[in-house]
Amino acid sequence: MAFKICPKCNTKTGVRTYNCKKCGYSFTGEKKKVIEPVEKAPITLEMKSISSYIAPKKLTSVEHAKRILSYGKDRASLLLHQARLHKIWSHVDWNVVEHDLHL
């Protein structure tokens, strides 16, 4: 059977007991502190007109290949292998990457 011992009078009491029956010691201890929620500033969305949006420059397949080559030979070689194996990233001219890697 489980029990707890009163630290004041060393009396054994049940585990669900809140106060010692002999000396009145409170097993609940300090009350838990309640953390007050912090008020946050309301989120405001800034509306921009669509006409002010500038789309990023679209790269050609050769420019994508040059970007892949700028990562270094090891990484470009790995990406070339993955692209050929899985037939992915068709927007890149992998022939340019392969040609520059073998130079």
Q: Examine residue 16 and state whether it is found in any structural domain, yes or no.
A: yes
- Quick: pLDDT tens for 62-97: 999 999 999 999 999 999 999 999 998 899 999 999
Q: Examine residue 33 and state whether it is found in any structural domain, yes or no.
A: no
The domain in which residue 18 lies consists of 1-28
Q: What percent of the chain has pLDDT over 70?
A: 81
Which of 7, 48, 4, 12 is closest to 25 using CA atoms?
A: 7
Q: Residue 100 is encoded by which pair of tokens? A: 């520059």
Q: Given pLDDT bands bounded at 50, 70 and 90, which one contains residue 33?
A: low
Q: Examine residue 66 and state whether it is found in any structural domain, yes or no.
A: yes
Structural domains of the chain, count = 2
pLDDT(45) > 60? yes
Q: What pTM value is reported for the model?
A: 0.47
Residue 23 one-letter amino acid: C
pLDDT of amino acid 76 = 93
Q: What number is the average pLDDT over the span 25-52?
A: 69
Q: Examine residue 55 and state whether it is found in any structural domain, yes or no.
A: no
Residues 97 and 82 sit within 8 Å (Cβ to Cβ):
no
pLDDT of amino acid 93 = 94
Q: Examine residue 76 and state whether it is found in any structural domain, yes or no.
A: yes
pLDDT of amino acid 62 = 93
Q: Examine residue 8 and state whether it is found in any structural domain, yes or no.
A: yes
- HSE-up (13 A, CA, CB side) for residue 66: 5
Q: Examine residue 22 and state whether it is found in any structural domain, yes or no.
A: yes
Q: What percent of the chain has pLDDT over 90?
A: 42
What is the rounded CA–CA span in Å between residue 28 and residue 20?
11
